[in-house]
Amino acid sequence: MTQQTPEPIRFAYWVPNVSGGLVISKIPQRTSWDADYNRELARIAERAGFDYALTQVRFTAGYGAEYQHESVAFSHALLAATERLKVIAAILPGPWNPTLAAKQVATISQLTGGRIAVNIVSGWFSGEFRAIGEPWLDHDERYRRSEEFIRALRGIWTEDAFTYRGDFYRYTDYALKPKPAEPLPEIFQGGSSRAARDMAARVSDWYFTNGNTPENIRVQVDDVRQKAAAEGRSVKIGVNAFVIARDTEDEARAVLQAIIDQADPEAVRAFGHEVKNAGAASPEGEGNWAKSSFEDLVQYNDGFRSNLIGTPDQIAERILALKDAGADLALLGFLHFQEEVRYFGEQVIPRVRTLEAARAERRAAA
Ligand SMILES: Cc1cc2nc3c(=O)[nH]c(=O)nc-3n(C[C@H](O)[C@H](O)[C@H](O)COP(=O)(O)O)c2cc1C
């Protein structure tokens, strides 16, 4: 069932808009969560060949991440600092309702020529919900609310008199003006459980999943694509990975080992406890982190599992393997963001494009 897209694979990077970087480790990181660092990073990424930047939404510290800039405002700052990059603002139903999200994002879309997108997340941290006085729904209920949220967003953005009767949200002849600029903001979602996949098939443009092997990615892709096809839809796939690209494989492996050796065990265990608890109500037990080991959790979206760790040649080959498994986009985290995004743009992306071109030639000749 899996079909490799003939399109070039797209690259996104995680915006470090929360403190502590992308690993739960005390290893020194030359990454900052502040605005100046992030604006410069966005410009570097755009020049390096990245298409998207993904912000994170957090209202309270969880596994470190003591400071967190708000995702929609931060996305706008990055858009103002760049020309082509698209920025995906993370939005959490509960704290946001679709009315506010649709209006905010429509305005940013107008201000930036349609370069904003959204990532609708469903929540994993009950402590965060408790801290801000939000009810904590069980796993599949969170997705039922997120699905209504996405249906409402789309309806508000596309209809002139939007009427909707859901269990969570209601609208009567609502007319949002102005609408977002064209193209309409793309709707991404995070999550891997059955509820997440079913929601992706029905309403999302993009399905983001945690890091994994190409074999395991393929199983998810087939499931999402089959279900989407049954709805007459197609869904694109983004896969998380933590990149450690170095001139030799030994160097890259040594960095991985150092990250894990200096992991903050208490914070990793606390995070593991939260996410496994968050997924416990997922009836089939296939949610993100259901099978994560201690080492996997040191990168909090299982980014080591995708194994983009080695030389630029090895990493380019493995990106093609993810593409073969059905990935349309690689979502990437780094230890020292600015310098490593630049290195990735110089050393890895051109190799990926060369491999893609060679495959296209082979296909044409066949
Ligand atoms: C790429 C990606 C980005 C995510 N970003 C956030 C985020 O910024 N904030 C958040 O609270 N959850 C985020 N999540 C968590 C998801 O919304 C979801 O709660 C989690 O993946 C568990 O889903 P599951 O049990 O359905 O697999 C993200 C997930 C993925 C895969």
Comparing CA positions, the residue from 138, 155, 142 lying closest to residue 98 is 155
Residue 35 lies in a domain: yes
What's the CA-to-centroid distance between 203 and ligand 1, angstroms?
A: 17
pLDDT score for 129: 96
Cβ(108)–Cβ(76) under 8 Å?
Answer: yes
- Residue 1 included in any domain: no
pLDDT score of 2? 56
Round to whole Å and give the CA distance between 89 and 72. Answer: 5
pLDDT, residue 134, reads: 97
For residue 290, give its domain range.
Answer: 10-365
Contact present, 194 and 226 (Cβ < 8 Å): no
Alpha-helical segments (H) within the chain: 35-48, 71-80, 98-111, 126-131, 139-158, 194-203, 214-230, 249-261, 265-280, 294-298, 312-324, 337-343, 349-365
Tell whether 65 is covered by a domain: yes
Tell me whether residue 2 is in a domain: no
Nearest CA to ligand 1 atom 20: 191
pLDDT for position 1: 57
Is residue 4 situated within a structural domain? no
Torsion sign across C-alpha atoms 22, 247, 344, 242? negative
pLDDT at residue number 302: 93
**Domain-located, residue 145:** yes
The pLDDT assigned to 136 comes to 95
Residue 296 lies in a domain: yes
Q: According to the model, what pLDDT value does residue 314 have? A: 98
Going from the C-alpha of 273 to that of each of 30, 139, 227, 322, the distances in angstroms are 28, 15, 31, 29
Please calculate the CA angle 49-55-61 and round it to the nearest 5 degrees: 140
Model's pTM, two decimal places? 0.96
pLDDT in the model for residue 159: 98
pLDDT mean for each 10 residues of the chain (366 residues): 75 98 95 98 98 97 90 98 98 98 98 98 94 96 98 98 98 98 96 94 97 96 98 98 98 97 90 79 72 87 96 98 98 98 98 97 92
Q: Do the Cβ atoms of 98 and 169 come closer than 8 Å?
A: yes
Residues in contact with ligand 1 (CB, 6 Å cut-off)? 56-57, 90, 92, 119, 121-124, 190-193, 195-196, 208-210, 240, 279, 282, 287-288, 301, 331
Ligand 1 centre distance from Cα of residue 366 (Å):
41
Would residue 3 count as lying in a domain? no
CATH number of domain containing 204: 3.20.20.30
Number of domains the chain is built from: 1
Describe the crossing of helices 312-324 and 214-230 by its angle, rounded to 10 degrees: 30
Q: Identify residue 21 by its one-letter amino acid code.
A: G
pLDDT of amino acid 280: 63
